[in-house]
Homo-oligomer: A and B are copies of this chain.
Amino acid sequence: METSLHIGVIGTGTIGLTHIERIQTRLRGGKVVAVSDVAAAPGRRAAETCGGEFFADGLKLIASPLVEAVLVATSDAFHELYVLAAIQAGKPVFCEKPLAPKKDAVRRILDAEMAGGRHLVQVGFMRRYDAGYREMKRLIDARTYGAPLMLHCAHRNYSVGADYHTPMAVENSMIHEIDVLRWMLDEEYATAEVVFPKKTKYAGPDLQDPQIMILTTRSGVRIDVEAFVHCHYGYDIKCEVCCEDGIIHLPDPAFPMVRTQAARVTPICRDWSDRFVDAYNVQIQEWINGTRAGRVDGPSAWDGYAGAVTAEAAGRARDTQTRVRVELEPRPDFYRN
């Protein structure tokens, strides 16, 4: 455990900066030695702050002998480029979700990784590292309350920016549920559907909000996920797993309850960075640990691909207002544990 993993970070937006900050000050065994960003000014500033070298070109960062492992936190459109380059360079790479915006791009990543013959890619599905989901998965795996039959979930934001439009509810928000639920249930999806409840006055012309995505799994479990990104009360994630002998509820974060003004009042987070701060820390720590041990034990490129295929089916379902089959090929042996 002597030497740290030397990490190069590409992308210094909000999420990139928080990853740098957590690696440098909170986590063990990693060190940011190189930073890249297409925007030179913020990129240089980030590099300076953390003491890493700045690379104007992300591909050069990947190629640099300084860098042992790569963390990709650019805008989605550039994920494929950098992940493929890291695979080419034979370097472990952590890529923020989604692995790529379209399933074909994810497929190319998958193929490249398999061709290289080494497990290198991990996707940033950080919900799997949340203590609440982990405990739920433990109870489900153990069948403590029997087999799961249906799930009721919700993904709510206080509000979103004007550039958030209808498809993002599936692609950026509920993609988290798409991943964490198939992981929790340990099976793939069979069908997808997206329906539109009454629209809130807070949503602009390009956004249908709320939306409800309905998924069924191959064994017949039915899942509904409400995405409500202008819920106007807080950032709130619900997950209720109805089993044969009991119903398991994702816990809310623990905040002090206060009795005041004729009410019992318990705070709700205002945004995702509060809600899942621990999950992000655990995720990157476990990635560092796994990488140093030569393993990829987090969400793999296959998980990114299964998510992309499901999201694409859900997108078609939403656009056609029909139920759509999720056509996912068999999992390659390479990705079996």
By a beta-carbon cutoff of 8 Å, the part of chain A in contact with chain B is 1, 24-28, 51, 131-132, 135-136, 139, 145-150, 152, 158, 195-202, 210, 212, 219-222, 224, 226, 228, 231-234, 236, 242, 244-270, 285, 289
Q: Which residues of chain B come closer than 8 Å to A27, judged between CB atoms?
A: 28
> How far does the alpha carbon of A22 sit from the alpha carbon of B6 in the complex, in Å?
22
Partner of A259, one of B147, B201, B247: B247
Q: Are B267 and A262 in contact (CB under 8 A)?
A: yes
For this chain, the copies found in one complex come to 4
Partner of A265, one of B131, B158, B236, B264: B264
Residue of B nearest to A254 (CB): B251
> How far does the alpha carbon of A257 sit from the alpha carbon of B250 in the complex, in Å?
7
Partner of A251, one of B131, B136, B249, B256: B256
Residue of B nearest to A278 (CB): B278
Instruction: Kindly provide the distance from the CB of A309 to the nearest chain B CB, expressed in whole angstroms.
Output: 22
The 3 closest A-B pairs by CB, nearest first: A246-B260, A197-B222, A150-B197
Residue of B nearest to A251 (CB): B254
> How far does the alpha carbon of A224 sit from the alpha carbon of B234 in the complex, in Å?
23
> How far does the alpha carbon of A265 sit from the alpha carbon of B139 in the complex, in Å?
14
Given A152-B226, A249-B256: 10 more A-B contacts, CB < 8 Å: A1-B25, A145-B258, A197-B221, A198-B222, A232-B246, A233-B260, A234-B263, A251-B255, A251-B257, A263-B267
Q: Which residues of chain B come closer than 8 Å to A231, judged between CB atoms?
A: 242, 247
Q: Are B250 and A234 in contact (CB under 8 A)?
A: no
Query: Could you list some 27 contacts between A and B, CB below 8 A?
Result: A26-B285, A131-B254, A132-B255, A145-B258, A146-B232, A147-B201, A149-B198, A149-B199, A150-B210, A195-B222, A197-B220, A197-B221, A202-B244, A210-B242, A228-B242, A232-B244, A233-B247, A233-B259, A246-B261, A247-B259, A248-B257, A249-B258, A251-B254, A252-B264, A262-B269, A264-B266, A264-B268
A131, A226, A246 — most chain B CB neighbours (10 Å): A246
- Given A146-B201, A266-B264, A258-B253 contact (CB < 8 Å): no
Q: Which residues of chain B come closer than 8 Å to A149, judged between CB atoms?
A: 197-200, 210
Q: Which residues of chain B come closer than 8 Å to A232, judged between CB atoms?
A: 146, 244-246
> How far does the alpha carbon of A233 sit from the alpha carbon of B222 in the complex, in Å?
20
Instruction: Kindly provide the distance from the CB of A281 to the nearest chain B CB, expressed in whole angstroms.
Output: 10
- Given A195-B222, A245-B232, A263-B256 contact (CB < 8 Å): no
Q: Which residues of chain B come closer than 8 Å to A289, judged between CB atoms?
A: 25
Q: Are A242 and B226 in contact (CB under 8 A)?
A: yes
Partner of A28, one of B25, B255, B261: B25
> How far does the alpha carbon of A234 sit from the alpha carbon of B260 in the complex, in Å?
7
Residue of B nearest to A158 (CB): B262
Residue of B nearest to A239 (CB): B256
> How far does the alpha carbon of A187 sit from the alpha carbon of B25 in the complex, in Å?
32
Residue of B nearest to A139 (CB): B256
> How far does the alpha carbon of A114 sit from the alpha carbon of B222 in the complex, in Å?
45
Instruction: Kindly provide the distance from the CB of A294 to the nearest chain B CB, expressed in whole angstroms.
Output: 17
- Given A150-B226, A254-B132, A246-B262 contact (CB < 8 Å): no
Residue of B nearest to A266 (CB): B264
Q: Are A253 and B256 in contact (CB under 8 A)?
A: no
